[in-house]
Protein backbone atom coordinates (compact mmCIF):
# COMPACT_ATOMS: atom_id res chain seq x y z
CA UNK A 1 0.00 0.00 0.00
CA UNK A 2 1.39 3.35 -1.04
CA UNK A 3 0.60 6.24 1.28
CA UNK A 4 1.04 9.98 1.03
CA UNK A 5 0.62 12.47 3.81
CA UNK A 6 -2.54 13.97 2.23
CA UNK A 7 -4.30 10.82 0.90
CA UNK A 8 -4.44 7.08 1.48
CA UNK A 9 -5.10 4.83 -1.51
CA UNK A 10 -6.48 1.90 0.51
CA UNK A 11 -9.51 2.46 2.76
CA UNK A 12 -9.26 1.83 6.47
CA UNK A 13 -10.09 -1.68 7.62
CA UNK A 14 -13.86 -2.07 7.72
CA UNK A 15 -14.39 0.94 5.47
CA UNK A 16 -16.09 1.13 2.09
CA UNK A 17 -13.58 1.23 -0.74
CA UNK A 18 -13.73 2.48 -4.30
CA UNK A 19 -14.32 -1.03 -5.67
CA UNK A 20 -17.42 -1.37 -3.49
CA UNK A 21 -18.80 1.90 -4.85
CA UNK A 22 -18.00 0.86 -8.41
CA UNK A 23 -19.78 -2.50 -8.06
CA UNK A 24 -22.84 -0.92 -6.42
CA UNK A 25 -23.04 1.72 -9.15
CA UNK A 26 -22.63 -0.94 -11.84
CA UNK A 27 -25.47 -2.96 -10.32
CA UNK A 28 -27.65 0.16 -10.16
CA UNK A 29 -27.08 0.92 -13.85
CA UNK A 30 -27.70 -2.71 -14.82
CA UNK A 31 -30.96 -2.81 -12.83
CA UNK A 32 -32.18 0.42 -14.44
CA UNK A 33 -31.36 -0.86 -17.93
CA UNK A 34 -33.17 -4.14 -17.24
CA UNK A 35 -36.18 -2.20 -15.98
CA UNK A 36 -36.49 -0.22 -19.22
CA UNK A 37 -35.74 -3.29 -21.35
CA UNK A 38 -32.42 -2.11 -22.76
CA UNK A 39 -30.36 -5.00 -21.41
Query: Does the reported pTM lie above 0.85?
Result: no
Query: For residue 26, is pLDDT > 90?
Result: yes
CB 39 within 8 A of CB 30: yes
* Dist. CA 19–CA 28, nearest whole Å: 14
Helical H segments across the chain, by residue range: 18-35
Q: What is the DSSP letter of 8?
A: B
Closest alpha carbon to 1 in 13, 24, 21:
13
Query: For residue 8, is pLDDT > 70?
Result: no
Amino acid sequence: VRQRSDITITPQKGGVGPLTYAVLFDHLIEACLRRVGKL
